Chain A
Amino acid sequence: KAGVTQTPRYLIKTRGQQVTLSCSPISGHRSVSWYQQTPGQGLQFLFEYFSETQRNKGNFPGRFSGRQFSNSRSEMNVSTLELGDSALYLCASSLDVGGFYEQYFGPGTRLTVT
C-alpha cells in the first residue's frame, strides 16, 4: 500500500505570495490532518478534514486554509506569505475507526519564504 504523498517536497516563495500544498492520503483513509513544524514552535496542528468537511482547527490565522476533495486528497493554502511561515508542513492521514486515531505522516513540504 502506498504511503502518504505530499507535493511539492520543496518550495521557495517570497513574502506576500500565496502557496498551495497538496497531500494524497493512504488509500481508504478519510481523515487528513495538517501540521506545521518549526524549530521554535515544534509541531503545531493546523486543521483536520474528514469526508470533505473541516472537523477540527488549530490556532492559526485565516491566511491558512484547506480543503478536501471527494477522493480524500487534500490541499492547504497559505495566502500573503510571511517570513515566519517558513516551515516543514506535514500531512497525516488516518482511518479514524472507533476513536482510534493512528496517523500516518507524509515526508512533508519544506516551505522557505524569502
Chain B
Amino acid sequence: GEDVEQSLFLSVREGDSSVINCTYTDSSSTYLYWYKQEPGAGLQLLTYIFSNMDMKQDQRLTVLLNKKDKHLSLRIADTQTGDSAIYFCAEFSSNTGKLIFGQGTTLQVKP
C-alpha cells in the first residue's frame, strides 16, 4: 500500500539552510507536495513537483525528487524564525486517487 515517511524533527540556526527529507512507496505517484502547518492553523500548500521532474525551485524553496529511490526533499534557504512549523510531504496516488501524507517534520529555527 501507500506509505510516506519523514523524520520527525529538525533544528537549525537562523540563516542556515534546512533540508527536510521524505520517502514514499507508491510508484504510481503523479504529484508530490509539500505543505506547511503553523500552530492552530490548517495546512498551507508550499510547493509541488510533478513526478517526471527532478528539481523545482521557488524563491527560497528547492524541491529535489529522486524517483528511482522514491526520495523527496525540501530545502529552505536562509531559514527564518517564521519558518518554524510542521512540514508535511504528500503524494497523490493515481492508483487510489488519494492524497497520502507523511507524519510531518517539526522544524525548529533558533535565533
Are A and B genuine complex partners?
yes
A residues neighboring B (CB under 8 Å): 4, 33, 35, 42-43, 45, 48, 55-56, 58, 90, 92, 99-108
- B100 & A105 in contact (Cβ 8 Å cutoff): no
Complex Cα distance, B92 from A98, in Å, reads 13
Interface of B is mostly: strand
Report the count of interface residues on B (CB-CB < 8 A).
23
Show 8 residue pairs from A and B whose CB-CB distance is below 8 angstroms, ordered by the A residue: A45-B99, A48-B97, A56-B96, A56-B97, A99-B30, A102-B48, A105-B45, A108-B41
Residues of B within 8 A of A92 (CB): 43
Complex Cα distance, B103 from A101, in Å, reads 20
Quick one: given A43-B88, A45-B99, are A90 and B43 in contact (CB under 8 Å)? yes
Residues of A within 8 A of B94 (CB): 99
A-B contact count (CB 8 A): 46
- Which one of A42, A100, A102, A106 lies within 8 Å of B101 (CB-CB)? A42
B residues neighboring A (CB under 8 Å): 30-31, 33, 35, 40-45, 48, 88, 92, 94, 96-104
Quick one: given A42-B103, A42-B104, A101-B31, are A106 and B96 in contact (CB under 8 Å)? no
Residues of B within 8 A of A55 (CB): 97
- B88 & A58 in contact (Cβ 8 Å cutoff): no
Residues of B within 8 A of A35 (CB): 101
Residues of A within 8 A of B103 (CB): 42
Complex Cα distance, B101 from A69, in Å, reads 27
Beyond A42-B104, A56-B97, A90-B43, 8 additional pairs, beta carbon < 8 A: A33-B99, A45-B99, A90-B42, A92-B43, A101-B99, A105-B42, A105-B43, A107-B41
